[in-house]
Amino acid sequence: MPFANLSSRLQETFRKLRARGKLTDKDVDTALREVRLALLEADVNYLVVKDFIAKVKERAVGHQVLASLSPGQQVIKIVNEELTSLMGGTQSKISLASKPPTIIMMVGLQGSGKTTTSGKLALHFKGKGHRPLLAAADIYRPAAVKQLIVVGEQVNVPVFSMGETNPVDIAKAAVAHAKTHGNDIVIIDTAGRLHIDTELMHELEEIKRSVNPHEILLIVDSMTGQEAVSVAVSFDQQLGIDGVILTKLDGDARGGAALSVKAVTGKPIKFAAMSEKMDGLEVFHPDRMASRILGMGDVLSLIEKAEATFDEQKAKELTEKMRRDAFTLEDFREQLAQIKKMGPLDQLLGMIPGMGKLGQMRDLAVDDSHLKRIEAIISSMTVEERRNPDIIGGSRKRRIAAGSGTRVQEVNRLLKQFNQTRQMMKQFSEMERRGRKGKGGFNLFR
């Protein structure tokens, strides 16, 4: 998979840099050539890449990097910072009209996810106490109106439709309807169209002129290649978009299009859509996206999140136990509880460095319900068993499985996982000990 290549190649490059200890001008060039290829493989537009590499080089060459004790980390920090700043620095929200209804127009290429995302957006606002209305202004695609009606039913939001009349009239009537029915947000779902289709682009301009939307959102498929740039620039020039929603991020696309679109339009990416169902709309985090594009996992936000959530005292105790190799199933459960506080597990896994390299996230199938079962299993053990799992034999396993409403296989799997974790912790604490003696700090790119 291109994924794995990218991640491992970058890590390989930075390992090499580290091994040298010092950075020469040529080293930086070598490293940046790899970064360039990685970005291209992630579908970042080649002109954006060019620009980006030039910026990073400017910062990286010279004393800043040379002075660093850890050149590899220094370079990744610069790459990451530049990437994040290019992605937009901070997250942005949808601005609501001072005088409702707020009118939002969804535009984009065919199949990018406008209709689905309209439903998600409606749900998002409904959850915040608003009363959104969905407007069906796609009169071209077969069953597009029906699709929006079904989506509306799924999120329990009313859908305004007028069959296959003029989309401009539909939009106007929808806004009028919202005003008389107390809907404070109108989301207009428009037909997918090519940015070079003058007639249909003109139709969008007409809709814009007649209802004055507060937000025109461009919906961009995260799997888009190099053309993302001309699509975004075209829509922006002809309509003046206010922001972008990136869809289908639940797959393995590196999403370089995000960077391209942001770089050429300067418009913020407001949401990330990551599901076919109605739940997967998330606030866009430029830093996470930057790391995703680089393929190294969201190192920084994992650290941040861990810092914010982990109970410091407990963490200290755990570290102490790790060192003494006295880690028990009780601690394991404690640790799981801590991790649970940090957020959905699949998201967390995506942030762990090296996951890209494994390329196996899809096989892990760890979810929150899985966590609950693990908790149930551990709760069904005696104190003695939790402290000393080695005593758990066949009959104990059967008892535990029955007590927790699980199966013996699951108990086995948990015990195996526990042992692996214990093993890993041993390695970590050894790494840490060695690290102390050496340069200090946790080297992510070893």
Partner 1 sequence: MMLRKLFSRGGKKEAKVMPDPRINDDQVKPEGGADAGLLTDAERSQGSEANTEEVTPQGLFARLKQGLTKTRTGFIDRIGQILAGRGIDEDLFDELEEILIQADVGVATTLELIGRIRQRVETERITDSNAIQGLLKAEIKDLLSRDHQPLALPDHTPAAIMVVGVNGVGKTTTIGKLAYRIKQNHAKVVLGAADTFRAAAVDQLRVWANRVGADLIAHQEGADPSAVAFDSVAAAKARSADVLIIDTAGRLHTKTNLMAELGKVYRVTTRELGRDLDEVLLVVDATTGQNALSQAKLFSESVPLTGIVLTKLDGTAKGGIILALANELRLPVKLIGVGEQMRDLQDFDPISFTEALFN
Positions touching Mg ion (CB under 5 A) are: 114-115
Question: Minimum Å distance from CB 284 to ligand GTP?
Answer: 13
Question: Minimum Å distance from CB 17 to ligand GTP?
Answer: 36
Q: 280 touches which of ligand GTP, Mg ion, partner 1, none (CB within 5 to 8 A by kind)? A: ligand GTP
Q: What secondary structure letter does DSSP report for 325? A: T
Question: How buried is residue 46: exposed, middle or buried, by Cβ count under 10 Å (0-12/13-18/19+)?
Answer: middle
Q: List the one residue from 86, 274, 374, 425 that touches ligand GTP (CB under 6 A).
A: 274
Question: Minimum Å distance from CB 109 to Mg ion?
Answer: 11
Q: CB under 6 A: which stretch of 186-194, 317-325, 380-388, 411-419 binds ligand GTP?
A: 186-194
Sheet with strand 185-190: strands edge to edge: 159-160, 132-137, 185-190, 102-107, 215-221, 243-247, 269-273, 281-283
Cα–Cα dist 186/179, whole Å: 10
The answer to whether 344 contacts partner 1 (rule: CB under 8 A) is: no
The answer to whether 203 contacts ligand GTP (rule: CB under 6 A) is: no
Contact, 417 vs 394, CB < 8 A? no
Q: CB under 6 A: which stretch of 199-207, 224-232, 273-281, 387-395 binds ligand GTP?
A: 273-281
CA gyration radius, the chain: 26
Question: Minimum Å distance from CB 304 to ligand GTP?
Answer: 25
Return the number of other C-beta atoms located less than 10 Å from residue 128's C-beta: 10
Phi, psi values for residue 111, rounded to 5°: 75, 10
Query: Distance of CA 338 to CAs 385, 417, 420, Å?
Result: 22, 17, 18
The answer to whether 140 contacts partner 1 (rule: CB under 8 A) is: yes
The answer to whether 366 contacts partner 1 (rule: CB under 8 A) is: no
The answer to whether 350 contacts ligand GTP (rule: CB under 6 A) is: no
Pick 84 or 116: Cβ nearer partner 1: 116
Q: List the one residue from 214, 248, 292, 422 that touches ligand GTP (CB under 6 A).
A: 248
Return the number of other C-beta atoms located less than 10 Å from residue 89's C-beta: 11
Single-letter amino acid code for the residue at 224: T
Contact, 171 vs 135, CB < 8 A? yes
Pick 113 or 389: Cβ nearer partner 1: 113
Q: What secondary structure letter does DSSP report for 195? A: T
Contact, 183 vs 177, CB < 8 A? yes
The answer to whether 250 contacts ligand GTP (rule: CB under 6 A) is: yes
Question: Minimum Å distance from CB 150 to ligand GTP?
Answer: 11
The answer to whether 144 contacts ligand GTP (rule: CB under 6 A) is: yes
Tokens 């998600």 identify what position?
A: 120
The answer to whether 253 contacts partner 1 (rule: CB under 8 A) is: yes
Single-letter amino acid code for the residue at 149: I
**Interface residue list for partner 1 (CB under 8 A):** 1-3, 37, 40-43, 45-48, 51, 86, 109-113, 115-116, 140-144, 146-151, 154, 194-198, 221, 223-227, 229-231, 233-234, 236-237, 248, 250-254, 256-257, 262-267, 276, 361-363, 365
